[in-house]
Structure 1
Amino acid sequence: MSKPFNNYTHSYFAYLQIEKNSSVHTVKNYREDLEQFFMFMNEQHIEKLTDVTHQDTRLYLTKLHEKKMARASVSRKVSALRGFYRYLMRESIVDENPFLNVHRPKGARKLPSFFYEEEMNELFETVQEADELSIRNKALLEVMYGTGIRVSECAGLELKDIDFDLGVILVHGKGGNERYVPFGSFAAEAVEVYVKSSRTSLMKNTDHSILFVNFRGGPLTAGGIRHILTGLMEKASLSGKIHPHMLRHTFATHLLNNGADMRTVQELLGHASLSSTQMYTHVTKEYLQKTYMNHHPRA
């Protein structure tokens, strides 16, 4: 971080983590966003945060667009800088927020990729063997598809978070938020088998409470989960690229396709606002249209 602004940014990030309960991922992105803006200030010979004007912010956005940066990334940078200046105003460090009236570009929301039920069946066929890693991978796949949790949430699950009697998982979500998510009989059976046999064997001489472990017995990371899922997709000979969020998208899409209401899906996904969940309605409409075209005699 640029030396002249170290004191401000240090206290700002502490504020984000402690008072705003921002995730580590959000703080990391905002840190990079501020660093990039400070580099711009240096290039423009702007020495003080109080010297930044609305014209400077417009020039900065122009430079971002010239780099062909995605609109969603530009929007996040504007949000990060607006929040930073809002904090500086609260601390009486600056009098005005030059980013207050800056337009945040809205990117075209891409429809989420998801698996059809037949494709999910193909994925599950790849984890039917009785070796330790297949048993673990089956439990991993059942949990992610059966609950729709984020990969980071899955990587952070502990044994104590699983309540087999009530059939729920305590999920530690973004910003320190927690929620209970139900899981079905398939996931329950797969996790029980994994915990009693495979996990115990994989743990070797390690000792920790994380649910999913790697082949050395250590906690399975988000990157490790991504690697496993990529391998399963290749094994199933499915086309395209897989990413952990596809299982989350599939979870939500299949629920809506089978009649679940939007508010319930929002709660299960841990979305702060309904607008984040509404993108799945476009997917389900596409699914319904495809089903109609394939099966109606007058389509």
Structure 2
Amino acid sequence: MKWSSLITDFEHFLRLERGLSDNTINNYNYDIKRLISYLNDNYNHIVSPIDISQGTIQQFIYTISKDLSARTQARIISGLRNFFDYLVFENYRETNPVDQIESPRLGLKLPDTLSIEDIDQIIAAIDLNYQFRGVNLGHRNKAIIESLYSCGLRVSELTHLKISDLFFQEGFIKVTGKGNKERFVPIGKSTQKLIKIWLDIRKQIDVASEAKDILFLNYKGNQLTRAMIFTIIKKLVEKVGLKKTVSPHTFRHSFATHLLENGADLRAIQMMLGHESITTTEIYTHIDKSQLNKVINTFHPRK
């Protein structure tokens, strides 16, 4: 069997059987293709996914470990393990060659967060008069940043948010998360107001047929890409001179951290973030504890 046909079958399995998002599937694909590239560069013959050995994969991991972080290595090992698990499941192989390969130990990586002052500074830097090709995009950008922070959205959830998902009268929006799982997230009046302003501006755009129900659009009337959201945020961070690495996910982390610091229930935060397991949400308790340690070390007389 060829790599290409098995990868295609694996994609269908991940999408249809496991309900994974396109982003997750693309990451799996990227990791497998990195292995294929290594094989093409280092072997004179075609190494089949059916016959590849544990030793070959170990050598691949050793080679890439020189240039990649432990976290990236662990992700690649996990992706390959899932791929070969699928091949075993479908009886293409008897064993998984990645099973005995250990992932590098990872320390606890706390998410980067912004202070409330940081967020206020970024939002204040948005030029509400900014127009491109006759379309006011300043109000759109402000609604985007506010939605990321006030609702704790993933970037893919933001770009796929629909007008029909807005239930302002009830004070909620419907969010489609990983695995197409839906959840309802509260949305504040101030963010609702910003979205309503954008909706009025949006009426002036010639919207593409496939984006009629998509909330946030570019000036051409097409759905915004993830890359465009990253670009909007990058320019704002540079504008205010903030010396932090800020991505759309930073606003999501800040949303959860600020809720926890102000006494919100961890279970409620889990539901709003759309985490399948409470253990995923519990990482924010470590952030809160580190903040408590900082308070003790700064203010306690016997620190």
TM band (smaller chain): 0.7 to 0.9
Residues 205 and 30 (structure 1), Cα distance of their counterparts in 2 relative to 1, 3 Å cut: closer
8 Å contact from structure 2 (residues 270, 281) kept in 1: yes
List per-residue Cα deviations over 1:160-195 (Å, max 9, x = no partner): 011111111111112222211111111112212221
8 Å contact from structure 1 (residues 46, 52) kept in 2: no
List per-residue Cα deviations over 1:61-102 (Å, max 9, x = no partner): 22222x331222221222222222221122221111121222
Matched, 1:164 2:163: no
Q: TM-score, normalised by structure 2?
A: 0.87
In 1, the alpha carbon distance for the partners of 2:233 and 2:39 equals 43
List per-residue Cα deviations over 1:267-298 (Å, max 9, x = no partner): 21112223322222222223233345556677
SS in structure 2 opposite 1:21?
A: coil
Give the AA of the match of 1:216.
K
In 1, the alpha carbon distance for the partners of 2:234 and 2:260 equals 26
Please name the residue that 2:236 is paired with: 232
Please name the residue that 1:47 is paired with: 47
In 2, the alpha carbon distance for the partners of 1:212 and 1:49 equals 42
Please name the residue that 1:112 is paired with: 111
Q: Alpha-carbon deviation of 1:36?
A: 2.4
SS in structure 1 opposite 2:137?
A: helix
Give the AA of the match of 2:84.
Y
Q: Alpha-carbon deviation of 1:24?
A: 1.2
Please name the residue that 2:226 is paired with: 222
In 2, the alpha carbon distance for the partners of 1:235 and 1:33 equals 35
Please name the residue that 1:242 is paired with: 246
Aligned pairs (5 A) from 1:6-25: 6-25=4-23
Gaps of 5+ in 1: none
SS in structure 2 opposite 1:240?
A: coil
CA RMSD of aligned residues (A): 2.4
In 1, the alpha carbon distance for the partners of 2:127 and 2:46 equals 62
Matched, 1:200 2:199: no
After the TM superposition, which of the residue ranges 246-255 and 178-187 deviates more from structure 2? 178-187
Residues 287 and 46 (structure 1), Cα distance of their counterparts in 2 relative to 1, 3 Å cut: same
Give the length in aligned residue pairs.
294
Residues 206 and 56 (structure 1), Cα distance of their counterparts in 2 relative to 1, 3 Å cut: closer
Aligned pairs (5 A) from 1:100-179: 100-127=99-126, 129=128, 132-179=136-183
Residues 298 and 190 (structure 1), Cα distance of their counterparts in 2 relative to 1, 3 Å cut: farther
Gaps of 5+ in 2: 131-135
SS in structure 1 opposite 2:28?
A: helix
In 2, the alpha carbon distance for the partners of 1:60 and 1:232 equals 40
List per-residue Cα deviations over 1:201-228 (Å, max 9, x = no partner): 3x14655221112233332222222222
SS in structure 1 opposite 2:57?
A: helix
Q: What percent of counterpart residues are identical? A: 33
In 1, the alpha carbon distance for the partners of 2:86 and 2:208 equals 44
In 2, the alpha carbon distance for the partners of 1:296 and 1:149 equals 37
8 Å contact from structure 2 (residues 207, 222) kept in 1: no
Matched, 1:35 2:33: yes
After the TM superposition, which of the residue ranges 212-221 and 114-123 deviates more from structure 2? 212-221
Q: TM-score, normalised by structure 1?
A: 0.88
Q: Alpha-carbon deviation of 1:230?
A: 2.3
Residues 119 and 294 (structure 1), Cα distance of their counterparts in 2 relative to 1, 3 Å cut: farther
Residues 205 and 19 (structure 1), Cα distance of their counterparts in 2 relative to 1, 3 Å cut: closer
Q: Alpha-carbon deviation of 1:52?
A: 2.8
Give the AA of the match of 2:120.
N
8 Å contact from structure 2 (residues 207, 220) kept in 1: no
Matched, 1:253 2:257: yes
Q: Alpha-carbon deviation of 1:254?
A: 0.3
8 Å contact from structure 2 (residues 185, 272) kept in 1: yes
Give the AA of the match of 2:113.
F
